[in-house]
Amino acid sequence: MRYRLRNISLAVYNNIPLRLASPYIEEESPPLLRRGRGGISFPATTDFEEMQLALKAAERGGRRGEAPVGAVLVCGADRFVSYNLRECRNDPTAHAELLAIRKAAKKLSRWRLGGTLYVTLEPCAMCAGAILEARVTRLVFGAFDPKAGACGSVWNIIEERKVRHAIVVMGGVMEEESKDLLKEFFAGRRAEKRNL
């Protein structure tokens, strides 16, 4: 498994400059995946565990006919799990990230949430804005979205210099698993359309 690096040629970790000779870092070394204005982040064991939970949520959404995107927001000891519900609710804003943020804000009775948000797909512009507004501390996502990603693929709202809140962003954690889930879902949808 390879981890993709984006927009990093020179990084600093503990005041030590790191020069990256290759666009990829093998799994054996600790993967430095993405740097946000909030600093550099390395994935921890819990990142992979929480991404597994987000992938399970995405699978549940896929079984309901939704695009299989799952999210887990961890705020201290609390964990808020959700998946896309756009089709079920006929709501264009019912993305997994927004639903997790809404659940957390309601339960915790505050809008400054902090914590870490795990998502199987790079957030869109709407979700990136909500993540910033909720003051999420860290964002970890699986697959990059070359069509609508707002964390470096198409736009880079999260790392916009004019934004007052800095977030550590890490992309490509369990990227292949996230991509495979999306590919399988949309291949099934295309097959259904051909059979009609």
**How does pLDDT run across 125-178, given as a tens digit for each residue?**
999 999 999 999 999 999 999 999 999 889 989 888 888 888 889 999 999 999
Q: Is the pLDDT of residue 185 over 80?
A: yes
Three-state SS at 126: helix
Q: What is the pLDDT of residue 43?
A: 60
Residue among 97, 122, 159, 175 flagged as catalytic: 97
Q: What is the pLDDT of residue 178?
A: 93
Q: What is the pLDDT of residue 35?
A: 45
Residue 20 to residue 134: CA distance in whole angstroms: 33
Residue 120 to residue 107: CA distance in whole angstroms: 23
CB 78 within 8 Å of CB 106: no
Residues contacting residue 48 through CB under 8 Å, at least 6 positions apart: 173, 174
Q: What is the pLDDT of residue 189?
A: 84
Q: Is the pLDDT of residue 1 over 50?
A: no
Residue 28 to residue 186: CA distance in whole angstroms: 32
Q: Is 176 considered catalytic here?
A: no
pTM of the model: 0.78
Q: What is the pLDDT of residue 27?
A: 39
Residue 174 DSSP one-character state: T
CB 25 within 8 Å of CB 32: yes
Q: What is the pLDDT of residue 6?
A: 43
Query: What would the pLDDT profile of 69-120 be if each residue is shown by its tens digit?
Result: 999 999 999 999 999 999 999 999 999 999 999 999 999 999 999 999 999 9
Range name among 4-8, 35-39, 62-66 with the lowest pLDDT average: 4-8
Cα distances (Å, whole numbers) of residue 60 to 70, 96, 103: 9, 12, 18
Q: Which of 172, 86, 175, 166 is nearest to 126 (CA)?
A: 86
Q: What is the pLDDT of residue 164?
A: 80
